[in-house]
Structure 1
Amino acid sequence: MIEVYFDGLCQPINPGGIACYAFVVKSNGKTLHRDYGVAGEPFSKDSTNNIAEYTALAKALEWLVANNLAFDKVEIHSDSQLVVNQLEGNYKVKAKRIVPLYRKVLLLKAKFPDMKIKWVPREQNREADRLTNIAYNKTLRENPEYLNRVLKEEKG
């Protein structure tokens, strides 16, 4: 069985900060792959926590497809109740920014004959959460202008 853990964040403010995603793919407790990065244009209206969450899931599913793992049993884990409930059909997707990513995820999801998505408490999603913070801090280190903007906003 393949397990995927994904997460997203948007800091220092949501929306409009720096949105970062991360995912971890495991098989039998061993990490097969992990990835993280920036989701969308920093400090834009499209920089939100939910954009980051959906980006993480889309990138994870794309990686699974590219590595011929779509036909394995796949269990997706997320601490985002919104994403899990939207994908399960319990919540409607209302935010226009999310719709394209939501559709992309649904198209990717259709390639997996045996996939489940489960909500997990944040404590069980620590590795993906840690990677989103690494992505955020790396982005600040590599883009001094972002760091200066964040520091100015913190001062008020």
Structure 2
Amino acid sequence: METYREGAGRPTESVWDYPRPPRVESDPRHVVVAHGGIRVADTRRALRVLETSHPPVFYVPRDDTLSELFVRSGSTTWCEWKGVATYWDLLVPGAARSADAAWSYEAPLPGFASITGCVAFYPSRVSGCWVDGELVSGQPGDFYGGWITSEIVGPFKGGPGSQGW
């Protein structure tokens, strides 16, 4: 899956090398999510979901979050691979409510049981998300919630004109 990008001096991952259907893998790097000056998630036990054309989505075990700051929003979506997603607003004292900032699969479809009890975050709906100290960028379009780091190369699904990919 790793490729070398000329001049970068480090391995990269092309989202076009990711599988379909998606794959879940452990990621021991230090993952932090902050909002309103508070670390709402901090783990070295993240799971990454890798799917063709998408930057990875990082899932954090709920035990490594400040889950008391999450309020179920009432929003849901359907993923053909993972099932029904439940959305969560973040209510951090002193910060504006961040609507649908996170999501989880409370009863995922077979093959994705490992993400049960984990929460994923939209980088664009929190103050910041980091992987080993690197601030991530959000996937274009703000629908899929992928995290773009320096080792991830696209093009990425989600931006204008990419819905038919």
TM-score past 0.5 threshold: no
Scaled to the shorter chain, the TM-score interval is 0.3 to 0.5
Higher helix proportion (structure 1 or 2): 1
Give the TM-score taking structure 1 as reference length.
0.33
Higher strand proportion (structure 1 or 2): 2
